[in-house]
Amino acid sequence: MKLRILYLRCFMFFMSVTFLCSGTGLAADIVFVDTRLLVQAHALYKSFDPDTRRFKGTTSEPVDGLDGLKELASLILKKEQQLKDLENPQDNSKVSSEAENLSDFQDSFLEKKKTLSNEIVKLKTRFDNAYFSSDYPGQTSDYSIVPQVRTIVRDIQKVVMSLKERHKTSIVFDISGFFPSDGEDIDYLLLKESLLHIIYHGTGSRKAAIDWIDNARARLSQKVPGLSPIVIGGIDARQDSVDLIRTLSSEGKK
């Protein structure tokens, strides 16, 4: 389960951290959330397979080798034929009977056409992802999950905007980075370096200072089991944000 979170967080951090802290003016209260909880609560999270690192039932899902590609190609042809039959019905008597209520017929036709067209687009995208992968036949590339990750990030952004409006604040802070994570790789050589002058005086490599602080946090959390920060002050919107993203992502799947 932790693998799922860590894998998604590497995409989410850059895409969401700027947004979470955006806004103009001073906030009356700082609202804080935990993006790890938001990822876990999102409807797409349940379909993430940590073994393949892809989302089941989406265009990123791998297929079973060459046989899987053939089955997928056959399914695409079948769906395309269904669309042709829908647009050019052979049974005119059925059309005449349905045409008695023209409005209902048009709504039904357009809905079926839209559904089939969307299915074909998704199937073709999945086929392309699996066919043109340079690794193994049927295996989709790492980039194939970008649409799903974007969906999760977009929904988190919507949650943040909702919280900013609800609490009349300009800052929604993500506290996930302050919590320890088991199994982190620690750069002990970096920790032995004295980088305090960078931190206090702002001279030298900013990236080196950030890496040093991150490694120090990881080392401290491993050396003192159970250590975690205590959030004081501000508005704790973790539960509200989870409720919001559950509702938002579930509506998006309908």
Q: Is the distance from CB of 190 to CB of 52 less than 8 angstroms?
A: no
Query: Of all residues in the chain, what percent carry a pLDDT higher than 90?
Result: 19
Cα–Cα dist 34/241, whole Å: 9
Residue 124 has pLDDT above 90, yes or no: no
| Predicted local distance difference test score (pLDDT) of residue 74 | 83
* List of residues 6+ apart from 6 with CB closer than 8 A: 181
Vertex 40: Cα angle to 213 and 214 (nearest 5): 5
| Predicted local distance difference test score (pLDDT) of residue 17 | 44
For residues 13-35, give the mean pLDDT. 60
For residues 98-108, give the mean pLDDT. 65
Name the token pair of 1.
């389960």
| Predicted local distance difference test score (pLDDT) of residue 6 | 41
Cα–Cα dist 86/110, whole Å: 10
- Which of the pair, 32 or 230, is modelled with greater confidence? 32
Summarize pLDDT for 181-228 with one digit per residue, the tens: 666 677 778 777 776 666 666 666 677 777 877 777 777 767 766 666
Cα–Cα dist 96/64, whole Å: 44
Summarize pLDDT for 153-171 with one digit per residue, the tens: 999 999 999 999 999 988 8
- Which of the pair, 141 or 205, is modelled with greater confidence? 141
| Predicted local distance difference test score (pLDDT) of residue 234 | 84
For residues 46-52, give the mean pLDDT. 88
Q: At what angle do helices 2-20 and 146-167 cross, to 10 degrees?
A: 50
